[in-house]
Amino acid sequence: HTRCFSACSATAKDASGSRPLANTLTLIPGGTRGIGLATAKLFASQGSRIVLLGRDQDRIQRVLQYELTPLDSAEGFGHLGYQCDVSKQGEIEKTIKEVNKISPIDFLIHSAGIARDSLLIAHGSEDMANVIMTNLMGTMWTNKAVAKGMMRQKKGAIINISSVVGIQGNIGQSVYSASKSAIIGFSKSLAKELGSRGVTVNVIAPGYIDTDMTSTISEDRKKDIVSRTSLGRLGTPEDVAEAALFLAKAKFITGQVLVVDGGLSL
């Protein structure tokens, strides 16, 4: 009876289109603030062990200590965080090697990113390079470092955070937009490369989300943005986290761009 029951439940699990979150490991570069933090909280609440990456060690410690639902059955350790600059390939590789020693990575939600807005003709060269190194190279390096393990496991889901600005363009954001549209082409290609191993790669393109990144936008500009959304508000980090959870669970969706913008781009 017992044998029959477990065989039946295994079949039912395989047939489901949903990946379970419990007893998984989720790596979130940029998980210390904004969209990444909301995603870390949501995934932790579903029983996934979170590994945060960010540059601010104090902030990492605060999130680990106060913001994440503790794991029920932490086998020797709970959620983790590493000080790691995603724009530096060496730091990423070293960090992912450490994480792999602990456990295979089931989900990668790459949320680390920066914005340095300027009209192109006035754009500082260092800022231009930093945006590309952090947003684009950082995404490619974490994806590269994680992909091998996922291929070996024959499972996993990668979700890269782009932006509606990467689809539509925006005045003062040509370089940021370049970094974000490149993430889309990159993710679609990687989805083709990893699909035969059961690994999915998708992109979320958020509209304007209320985080540190958008905190310097003037009230007038915010009003204008809100007036152009169908839903009549800015997004919350939690709005994007829900989309990340959906894509992490979905086994048969890959190479897609999910726009989470309240109708801004309609």
Q: Note the residues at the interface with ligand NDP (CB under 6 A).
A: 29-30, 32-36, 53-56, 59, 85-87, 111-114, 134, 138, 161, 163, 206, 208-209, 211-214
Active site residues: 176
**Minimum gap (Å) between residue 227 Cβ and ligand NDP:** 16
**Minimum gap (Å) between residue 89 Cβ and ligand NDP:** 12
Q: Which is nearer to ligand NDP, 199 or 209 (CB)?
A: 209
Question: Quick check: 31 and 53 in contact, CB under 8 A?
Answer: yes
Nearest one of 29, 185, 183 to 107, comparing CA atoms: 29
Q: Which is nearer to ligand NDP, 129 or 151 (CB)?
A: 129
**Minimum gap (Å) between residue 60 Cβ and ligand NDP:** 8
Alpha-carbon gap, residue 178 to 205, rounded angstroms: 14
Contacts 24+ apart (CB under 8 A), 149-155: 149/96, 149/100, 149/104, 149/105, 150/104, 150/105, 150/194, 150/197, 150/199, 151/194, 151/197, 151/199, 152/104, 153/104, 154/197, 154/198, 154/199, 155/19, 155/106, 155/197, 155/198, 155/199
Q: Which is nearer to ligand NDP, 61 or 189 (CB)?
A: 61
Q: Which helix (H) or strand (E) holds 236?
A: none
Q: Which is nearer to ligand NDP, 21 or 84 (CB)?
A: 84
**Minimum gap (Å) between residue 71 Cβ and ligand NDP:** 21
Q: How many CB atoms lie within 10 A of CB 59?
A: 16
Question: Quick check: 206 and 234 in contact, CB under 8 A?
Answer: no
**Minimum gap (Å) between residue 55 Cβ and ligand NDP:** 3
Q: Which is nearer to ligand NDP, 14 or 219 (CB)?
A: 219
Alpha-carbon gap, residue 164 to 86, rounded angstroms: 22
Helix axes 174-194 and 138-153, enclosed angle (nearest 10): 10
